[in-house]
Amino acid sequence: MSDQTINGDPILFTFRSFSQSDGYEEKRLSPTFLLSLCPLKADVLPKIMNKNLTIDQCNELCKGTLMEHLGMKITVVEEGRVEATMPIDKRTVQPVGILHGGATIALAESVAGIGSYYLCSSEEHAVGMQLSVNHISSPRKGEVKAVAVILHQGKKSHIWQVEVFAADNKLVSVITVTNMIIKKKVS
């Protein structure tokens, strides 16, 4: 383990990522970042929890994450509801050309996670705990839209119903996402 730190946390490991616009970039991960386990960058969380982010800012902060890689775009963030779109393209389809269920699940977990962080206090964070998925149809082109609505907002868990629709409004999947709400540890 390195003796270097990020904001006082030891760096656990370093890796290199590549983007066409920036080339290779070195990334360093600390325990604080790993504990967040959010589809968003760590500096997004306080802003979402303070409800100060615009949709454009939220999408900007998703750069370099799975959400950006799969082409997800957040379109609505409000208390108890989050919406996002994802293209059906070479990044999100199975070899036979239909939308990959894993991409759909990533979309659902992302919108539910953003929704839970929006509802958390600054002393809390959310982690995915369980998903229940029903795939109903298999679109081949266009984009899908996820609509997440909170079903249960407890002190220790949030349950989200996420419906994913094709461009023609045909139901693609229904996903229930359970997020565990954890108090942040005081160092």
Give the catalytic positions in this structure.
109
Q: If DSSP codes are grouped into helix, strand and coil, which group holds residue 142?
A: coil
Gap between the Cα atoms of 129 and 109, Å rounded: 10
Gap between the Cα atoms of 120 and 142, Å rounded: 34
Please name which of 179, 182, 79, 50 lies closest in space to residue 125, comparing C-alpha atoms. Answer: 182
Both tokens assigned to 157 = 């868990």
Dump the DSSP string for 42-87: TTHHHHHHTT---HHHHHHHTTTSHHHHTT-EEEEEETTEEEEEEE
Gap between the Cα atoms of 158 and 151, Å rounded: 8
* Chain-centroid distance, C-alpha 101: 16
